[in-house]
Structure 1
């Protein structure tokens, strides 16, 4: 798993990658989908990893103001934090990283992201890129490119942790290496990237130059 590879920084998606907010998000989106006459079962898988405004705009529903609907949805999500939990091993893994060498890069707006981070007990990163920070959300690479720039590094020297197809595509397009987190996957995701179900499977080591290497974690030992 990235044997011999070294990284300057780690970039983490949030929902489904360091915390599990699927139940809360799907409660809110289910009500919205039912109100608009959508097939809930086929629609819900499309919401993950993308900004709300792009999900709604992509439906091209007649008479629907995507900006207003996205704002209302995000307010509803901010009011529903029940059942949000960390991905197994995520808290300890994040706490083991040098604070200035990792960031959360999420399609959620900043207010919602901070609420979910707090609800899950995830460490608050020193730097975070959220929905408001980019003109084009995932699968565009803008968010990961911006995160790398803010950390003062090149995206190609970063490892992106992602769980959703849109985010994986964004990580690939940025030139970063990609690790897929499958903790919340109901069905296996077909991917050529290394995959873990828990952060207990990996650890880190650093060299004298400050480069970060992945090492086997307790679950892999």
Structure 2
């Protein structure tokens, strides 16, 4: 008997745009170790601060704090170096490696708030393929929730954002995908609490597969394997 078709999986897409951290790999423990150390050095309440740093560029996170005497650009560089040095516990989201490898290489991109060197390091640590197209922190002037990154990701592939499906896990990225005009799939693997969202959700890439339609677009289907 065929599996039921989850809501939101009915439309074929020209391209998929993936956030990285929390969406195709789990780097939460490593990232929170580094950012906790940074927050303590600056006298911040770590428990209150950590939820605010996920999904944003480091420089944007630090700038928003408006800490006296702190240079956001310099501090973001220091944080990045510490994150590059700590990739312990960085692992792929279940099924992500197989799913990404099944996609036409010219039809997907990673769109991440991480700097390029950190993105490459984490992808390698998680055993995930390097994409042909990637948008990183250095490529945009304003980070998520601004849509600039997803608009650029679609442009690099050569498609319209309206013909893209964005895979995201946190509010800033979801807002960016929406504002870019793309459809959004929310990956919930790393969520500790249920997220209220109108978008379709996915807990594991092992649940899905891709079928190429007659007009060469990608259609998500339930994985019957």
Sort the TM-score into its range (normalised by shorter chain). over 0.9
Of residues 71, 91, 96, the one that matches 1:90 is: 96
Which consecutive unaligned segments of at least 5 residues does structure 1 have? none
Distance in structure 1 (CA, Å) of the matches to 2:198 and 2:142: 25
Runs of 4+ displaced beyond 4 Å? none
1:75-110, Cα deviation, whole Å (9 max, x unpaired): 000000111000001000001100000000000000
Q: 2:183 matched to 1:177?
A: yes
Distance in structure 1 (CA, Å) of the matches to 2:186 and 2:165: 10
- Decide whether the 8 Å contact of 2:8 with 2:199 is kept in 1: no
- 1:52-91 matches, within 5 Å, as 52-91=58-97
SS at match of 2:88: coil
Distance in structure 2 (CA, Å) of the matches to 1:193 and 1:104: 20
Distance in structure 1 (CA, Å) of the matches to 2:161 and 2:194: 27
- Decide whether the 8 Å contact of 1:2 with 1:214 is kept in 2: no
SS at match of 1:70: helix
Of residues 120, 127, 134, the one that matches 1:121 is: 127
**Number of the residue aligned with 2:3:** none
- Decide whether the 8 Å contact of 2:154 with 2:164 is kept in 1: yes
**Number of the residue aligned with 2:26:** 20
Q: 2:121 matched to 1:111?
A: no
**Number of the residue aligned with 1:156:** 162
**Number of the residue aligned with 2:4:** none
SS at match of 1:2: coil
Q: Cα distance, 1:208 vs. partner?
A: 2.2
- Decide whether the 8 Å contact of 2:12 with 2:213 is kept in 1: no
Instruction: Tell me the number of residue pairs that the alignment of Structure 1 and Structure 2 aligns.
Output: 219
Which consecutive unaligned segments of at least 5 residues does structure 2 have? 1-6
1:33-59, Cα deviation, whole Å (9 max, x unpaired): 011111111110111110000000000
Distance in structure 1 (CA, Å) of the matches to 2:108 and 2:128: 13
